[in-house]
Copies of this chain bind each other. A is one copy, B any other.
Amino acid sequence: MINNQRNLSMLMDSYELTMAYAYFKKGMKDKEAVFDCFYRMNPDKGGYCIAAGLEQLVDYILNMHFSEDDITFFRNKYHFDEDFLDYLKDFAFRGTIYAVKEGTIVYPNTPIVTVKANIIEAQLIETMLLLTVNHQTLIATKASRIVRAAKGRTIMEFGARRAHSYDAAIIGARAAYIGGVDATATVAAEQDYKVPATGTIAHSFIQAFDNEYEAFEAFAQVYPDNCHLLIDTYDVLESGIKNAIRVAKEVLEPNGHRLKSVRIDSGDLAYLSKKVRKALDDAFMSDCKIVISNSMDEYLITSLLDQGAPIDSFGVGERLITSKSTPVFGGVYKLVAIEKDGMLIPKIKKSENIEKITNPGFKKLWRLYSKSTGNSICDVLTTRDEVINEAKEYWFVDPLKPWSEKLTTDFTAVELQKTIIENGKLVYELPTIEEIRAYVKQQLEHELWVEELRFENPHVHYVNQSKKQYQLKMDLLAKAEHMGEN
């Protein structure tokens, strides 16, 4: 087990500590604050994201503490007063975490995680919260795109060697599995997170023998029940497929075994896969699958299938594990309310870039579903004290067209955020990875509009606001014009 019981509490930005000290010295340590974690754009110009990483976030928060060594480090580096060091010595997260269930389909500008805690606690978890959610949401979302491109064919995640270090490989495989891949090559991901690990053979195996046939023969003898052969070490058509068929006929079939698959990792994959398919079929080996690897992603897979390449399974490496085409998921963590005189005061962050203006206040996030189709109609942000009554017609504001209020009837409304940690205690039963995976699948197949699933110019999901939430935002924006003054 690689990833259990690591204390990641020291993984934070230095400014979180120095701000915490300033809050402490200014007597603000018990001031309650609310922060939202949300993002602004779907990667790859897609239509949705898959929220992931909640399980690791919970592990981190529940284990958060500073050791004697950490306190010594703080003393030496920051010269904090001893009263603050004592505070850190006793530190635990005692606040409340709300989040959408892991695997929830999410959209820009909606809170994936909301933290309500004293401002020091809320501040010290910023980096870990963001990097956990950003990384896994990025990879789960990329995986989902690749899986959908393969239209039901098997996808294996093969990217560990190009991942951005150890966790990126192991936890990346977890996120990819949530996003829909069928398996990973990474053994530790099965051991730590129950992602099924699988694989074939490498070119070096073939080269370690005097010739290709001997290598295939050796592998078939050791794995008669589970024989997968890599056929592009020398020449796919001139030798690889011929030797694979010969081994099937001479070693496997006489003993009642079948060759499970052949893998091609280089060359013109559309052309080669067709020729290999024909050779296999001609040898009465229609059950032998063709596995393709080499810089696959949703675009290349789409292109291969468009060309009619008879591929059964794809090994996907670097372009998945780094989300190569969009390697950054820009989740942010913004203050939306802060306590003053015992009340939570909503806060807004203005910006010269209009799309960077935040949605203020401690909110609720709802998803409205059509009663007749089950499709999700839109998301709605409301203030915390609002309840959407399904029995009535519901009027709300599209913030992009605020001049015309909108009406929905015949809907169900679900509050998407659950209370995960309450006053420092876990109050939520974390789902298994199989449950998370099934939840993703169910939403993609039954709740999303097919127009949101397109790779090119997908439908932009509606994220609306209640009239009260919208008015709050407008009021605060007007007021914020003067916040720099004093």
Contact = CB atoms under 8 A, between A and B. Distances in A.
B19 A127 contact: no
Contacts of A25: 221-222
Contacts of A33: 204, 208
B15 A201 contact: yes
A2 B6 contact: yes
Interface in A165-186: 165-172, 185-186
A454 B76 CA distance: 41
A336 to B, nearest CB: 9
A294 B233 CA distance: 46
A44 interface: no
Given A22-B218, A212-B484, A165 B168 contact: yes
Interface string A320-332: 0011100111110
Interface residues of A, number: 119
Contact of A135 (B163, B170, B199, B267): B163
Interface stretch (A104-112, A305-313, A347-355, A369-377): A347-355
B329 A238 contact: no
B484 A240 contact: yes
A22 to B, nearest CB: 4
A205 B266 contact: no
A165 B165 contact: yes
A328 B423 CA distance: 41
Given A11-B170, A213-B486, A349 B135 contact: no
A335 interface: yes
A119 interface: yes
Nearest to A136: B165
Interface in A428-486: 480, 483-486
A102 interface: no
A238 B481 CA distance: 10
Interface in A381-423: none
Given A187-B17, A484-B240, A318 B328 contact: yes
A151 interface: no
A69 B1 CA distance: 8
Contacts of A267: 352
Nearest to A323: B327
Contact of A351 (B266, B333, B350): B266
Interface string A188-219: 10110000011111111101101111100011
A219 B208 CA distance: 65
A114 interface: no
A161 interface: yes
Contact of A201 (B10, B18, B162): B18
A268 to B, nearest CB: 8
A21 B123 contact: no
Contacts of A119: 208
Contact of A356 (B205, B239, B266): B266
A276 interface: no
A164 interface: yes
Interface string A133-147: 011101100000000
A28 B350 contact: no
B334 A186 contact: no
Given A19-B201, A164-B164, 19 more contacts: A2-B7, A13-B158, A13-B199, A14-B185, A22-B205, A22-B219, A25-B221, A73-B191, A77-B197, A138-B164, A161-B333, A162-B330, A168-B168, A203-B334, A203-B349, A211-B483, A235-B350, A239-B483, A327-B327
20 contacts: A10-B188, A10-B191, A11-B186, A12-B186, A12-B187, A13-B161, A16-B199, A22-B222, A127-B186, A135-B165, A135-B168, A161-B333, A162-B328, A165-B167, A167-B167, A208-B338, A212-B483, A233-B483, A234-B350, A266-B352
Interface of A: 1-2, 6-8, 10-19, 21-23, 25-26, 28, 31, 33, 35, 69-70, 73, 77, 119, 123, 126-127, 130-132, 134-136, 138-139, 158, 160-172, 185-188, 190-191, 197-205, 207-208, 210-214, 218-219, 221-223, 233-235, 238-240, 242-243, 266-268, 318-319, 322-324, 327-331, 333-335, 338, 340, 347, 349-353, 356, 480, 483-486
